[in-house]
Amino acid sequence: MQLDLLPFRVAGAAENMAADFLLLRRAPAGRARFRHYGWRAPAFTFGYSQQHAFIRSQLPPGETFDLCRRATGGGLVDHRDDWTYALVLPRGHALEEMRATQSYRLVHEALAAALAAQGVAAVLKPVPVEPPAGGAPAGVCFQRAETFDVCHAATGEKIAGAAQKRARQGMLFQGSIWKAAAGATVDWDRYGEDFAAHLAITLGAEAAPAPWPDDVGDEELAALTVHYASPEWNKAR
C-alpha cells in the first residue's frame, strides 16, 4: 500500500473540513492519504453531534473565530496553536476494519513515538478502572483526556486527541496536537516527517510525497466549502 503525503495547505475552517471530507469520499483503493494543514484565521471545530448553542457557550468571549462543524465526532477543538492532520484509509484496510478504539490507539501510538523521538514524554491514557468524576464540560477537547489520548507523562496534560468517521469509501481520522502541551523544544518540521514514517509502519505502507489529488478538484471543493460554512450545516442539530 502507498501512503500519499499530501502538500501542506492553509485554508479557512469550512474549506479544511470540506477538503478532509472530499478526501474520504474519493478514497482510492489500495492508497492511504495523509495531510497536515494550517488555518487562515483563529479557528475552532466541533463534533458532528454537538449542539451549536453549547459550543458557542464554550468559546472565549469577546473574540471572533472561524467556527465549523466536523464530519467526524469528538469535542470542541481549539486550532489557534495546534498541529492539525487528517488520515484517510480506503475501505478494507485492516485499521479501517478495526473497532474505533483500536484504530484510535494505533494511530496515537505512532504519534506518541514521533514525539518521543524528540524527547517528549508522550504516553497513551490507559483504559480507566472507574469512570472519571466531574472535571471539564463534556465535549471540550484538551480539557480532559479520554482513553488512548496522548498525554504528557510528567504533567498529565493532554497533548493529542482525534475523531473518526467511517463511510462506504473508507475511514477519515482527524487529529490535533496541542503544541503548548508537547513543549517548546519540538521541531515541528521534523515531527511531521517522523509521524509519517511511524504511520507508514503502522499501516504497512510505503510513504512518499504526492501532489494534491486530481479527484479532489477546486470546483467541487468550493461547492462543498459553501455547504460547510452554511447555518444549515453548523446549527441544524
pTM of the predicted protein model: 0.93
CATH number at residue 193: 3.30.930.10
Taken in order 103, 108, 109, 111, is the CA torsion positive or negative? positive
Average pLDDT over residues 215-235: 95
The pLDDT-based confidence of 54 (bands split at 50, 70, 90) is very high
The pLDDT-based confidence of 133 (bands split at 50, 70, 90) is low
pLDDT of residue 145: 79
The pLDDT-based confidence of 236 (bands split at 50, 70, 90) is confident
Angle (CA) 203-147-163 rounded to 5° is: 55
pLDDT of residue 129: 52
Domain span holding position 41: 2-235
Instruction: Write out pLDDT tens, residues 146-198.
Output: 899 999 999 999 999 999 999 999 999 999 999 999 999 999 999 999 999 99
Structural domains in the chain (count) = 1
Q: 57, exposed or middle or buried, with CB in 10 Å at 0-12, 13-18, 19+?
A: exposed
